[in-house]
Amino acid sequence: MPIDPFKLERYFAQYEFKVKYLLSPSDCESLKMDEVLQMASSASLDLWHGLSLSYTESQGLPLLRAEIARLYQNIPPEQVIVAAPEEAIFVAMQTLLTPGDHVVAVSPAYQSLHEIARSIGCEITNWTLQPGRNGSWHLNLEQLEASLTARTRMLVINFPHNPTGYTLARAELDAIIGLARKHGLILFSDEMYRLLEYDPSAQLPPICDLYEKGISLSGLSKSFALPGLRIGWLATQEKAWIERWLAFKDYTTICNGAPSEILGLIALQNKERIVRRNLDIIRTNLASAEQFFSEHERQFTWFAPRAGSIAFPEWLGGEQVEQFCQEVLEQQAVMIVPGSLFDFPGKHFRVGLGRRNLPEALEHVARYLKVL
């Protein structure tokens, strides 16, 4: 089956590098290369200066995989494969799913989390986050259980969640793992926004540590503010999957960019510092967003995120949300992602909390509202 265009990415491709303000990016203010190099230990700087721009090891630089494995408890470096995050989703789905498989995926979602499976010929059931009246999100575990069939092969989750900023309670995660184990499911867990929990006690353990058929997807694009490196990874306890992924990766990128691997290594060695910096930006922006949405209660319902760098509030104005986004773009040069790009009904839109100029972007939305 042909793969459908990635709506969100096509929308970004149209405007991301042309408009003045982005209200909806999912990443944090990117670090500059100098900032990363300034954090480097002398050993890493030696690696950087002596770097040969050759092909690299397909599975990922061993030193980098060793540093990644330190993020987990039950994952040795051999059980990690490094690839661009989006590539990693593609590789995992292409190798583990076959036509006719049933896949349950959290919804709304980053499109590739369900579209790749659909294009393979899988049947997809959405497990949908529901908006409550009080600006909160809800997931129903009974609904998840009811959607599982004898053909269900994979459950796809993503917490902290894009686009709502919702995250599960530990008991809910345990219940999901219980269901996955009972039904023998592969549990694909997109953990790209992990480490960006506002309350450290809300941080969930990675799936790959908790479940023998779990896969954790992570990377440096969001929590580490380094999307330009294109470094992500899959981690799992299942040995056979690593072999399959490596065989498939020969048809995608073969190996990772040599400079990206060293810069990624330096970033991981400075995890606490980088994550603290990003959480500081997010907290400051959360305060601005809360103030903005409380000052405009008649036009919006604010849905406070629990973790990550994004929120998914609702537009209450008379127009459709796409029209609101289009007008703000044309009149104030602010790009806003409407919820329809996630196939989500209603009038939600995404707000990115990771960029330093969010208050300015909101100021321009306020100007648009004034002349309405």
Q: Look up residue 312 and give its amino acid.
A: F
| Residue 23-52 contact track with ligand PLP, rule CB under 6 A, x = bound | ---x--------------------------
- From CA 206, how far away is CA 215, in angstroms rounded? 9
- Based on the shown chain and the rule CB under 6 A, indicate whether residue 97 belongs to the binding site for ligand PLP: no
Handedness of CA 13, 19, 20, 24 (dihedral sign): negative
Query: What is the 8-class DSSP label of residue 197?
Result: B
- Based on the shown chain and the rule CB under 6 A, indicate whether residue 285 belongs to the binding site for ligand PLP: no
How many residues bind ligand PLP (CB under 6 A)? The answer is: 12
C-alpha separations of 301 from 201, 245, 306, 321, 360 in Å? 27, 43, 16, 13, 20
Region 99-138 residues binding ligand PLP, contact defined as CB under 6 A: 110
Interface residue with ligand PLP among 31, 64, 185, 192 (CB under 6 A) is 192
Cβ-in-10-Å burial (0-12, 13-18, 19+) of 273 comes to exposed
Q: Please state the closest distance from residue 109 (CB atom) to ligand PLP, in A.
A: 7
Pull the structure tokens for residue 178: 């219980």
> Please, which residue, 29 or 292, has the CB nearer to ligand PLP?
29
- To the nearest 10 degrees (0 to 180), the angle between helices 358-370 and 271-295 is 10
- From CA 58, how far away is CA 65, in angstroms rounded? 12
The tally of CA atoms less than 13 A away on the side-chain side of residue 290 is 8
- Based on the shown chain and the rule CB under 6 A, indicate whether residue 164 belongs to the binding site for ligand PLP: no
What's the length of the chain?
372
Q: Which residue has the tokens 């990772």?
A: 256
Interface residue with ligand PLP among 60, 77, 85, 165 (CB under 6 A) is 85
**Which span (80-88, 116-124, 242-250, 278-286) binds ligand PLP, by CB under 6 A?**
80-88
Pull the structure tokens for residue 298: 């008649």
- Based on the shown chain and the rule CB under 6 A, indicate whether residue 162 belongs to the binding site for ligand PLP: yes
- From CA 145, how far away is CA 131, in angstroms rounded? 20
Cβ-in-10-Å burial (0-12, 13-18, 19+) of 365 comes to buried
- Based on the shown chain and the rule CB under 6 A, indicate whether residue 86 belongs to the binding site for ligand PLP: yes
- From CA 250, how far away is CA 30, in angstroms rounded? 29
- Based on the shown chain and the rule CB under 6 A, indicate whether residue 12 belongs to the binding site for ligand PLP: no
Q: Please state the closest distance from residue 85 (CB atom) to ligand PLP, in A.
A: 3
Q: Please state the closest distance from residue 181 (CB atom) to ligand PLP, in A.
A: 24
Q: Which residue has the tokens 């599975």?
A: 59
- Based on the shown chain and the rule CB under 6 A, indicate whether residue 236 belongs to the binding site for ligand PLP: no
> Please, which residue, 27 or 101, has the CB nearer to ligand PLP?
27
Q: Please state the closest distance from residue 124 (CB atom) to ligand PLP, in A.
A: 16
Interface residue with ligand PLP among 29, 67, 115, 190 (CB under 6 A) is 190
Interface residue with ligand PLP among 221, 256, 270, 278 (CB under 6 A) is 221
Cα 329 to the chain's mean position, in Å? Answer: 24
Pull the structure tokens for residue 51: 């770097």
Strands (E), 144-213: 152-158, 186-190
**Which span (50-58, 82-90, 284-292, 359-367) binds ligand PLP, by CB under 6 A?**
82-90
- Based on the shown chain and the rule CB under 6 A, indicate whether residue 264 belongs to the binding site for ligand PLP: no
Q: Please state the closest distance from residue 193 (CB atom) to ligand PLP, in A.
A: 7
Q: Please state the closest distance from residue 327 (CB atom) to ligand PLP, in A.
A: 25
- Based on the shown chain and the rule CB under 6 A, indicate whether residue 167 belongs to the binding site for ligand PLP: no
> Please, which residue, 292 or 342, has the CB nearer to ligand PLP?
342
Q: Which residues bind ligand PLP (CB under 6 A)?
A: 26, 84-86, 110, 158, 162, 190, 192, 219, 221, 227
